[in-house]
Amino acid sequence: MEEGCGGKRLSVEKAQVTLPSGRTKERFVVHPGKAVAMLPVEGEYCYLERQYRFAVGEWIYEAPAGTMDEGETPEETAHRELIEETGMRAETLIPRGIIYPAPGYTDEVIALFEARDLSPSDEYQMDDDEMIEVVKVRVDEVEAMIHAGEIIDAKTICLMYRCFGCRR
Q: What is the pLDDT of residue 122?
A: 81
Angle between helices 154-164 and 139-147 (to 10 degrees): 130
Q: Which one, of 101, 78, 73, lies nearest residue 89 by Cα?
A: 78
Q: What is the pLDDT of residue 124?
A: 61
Q: What is the pLDDT of residue 129?
A: 67
Q: What is the pLDDT of residue 128?
A: 64
Q: What is the pLDDT of residue 165?
A: 84
101, burial (CB in 10 Å: exposed 0-12, middle 13-18, buried 19+): middle
Q: Which one, of 127, 130, 151, lies nearest residue 39 by Cα?
A: 151
What string of pLDDT tens digits covers the 168 residues of the chain? 444 454 467 789 998 989 899 999 999 888 888 999 999 999 999 999 999 998 899 999 999 999 999 999 999 999 999 999 999 999 999 999 999 999 989 999 999 999 999 999 887 666 666 688 999 999 999 999 999 999 999 999 999 999 998 655
pTM score: 0.87
User: How many residues in total does the chain contain?
Assistant: 168
Structural domain boundaries of the chain?
1-31, 33-164
Q: What is the pLDDT of residue 64?
A: 97
Q: Which one, of 10, 46, 16, lies nearest residue 28 by Cα?
A: 16
Indicate the CATH number for domain 33-164.
3.90.79.10
Mode of pairing for the β-strands spanning 110-120 and 35-42: parallel
Q: What is the pLDDT of residue 7?
A: 47
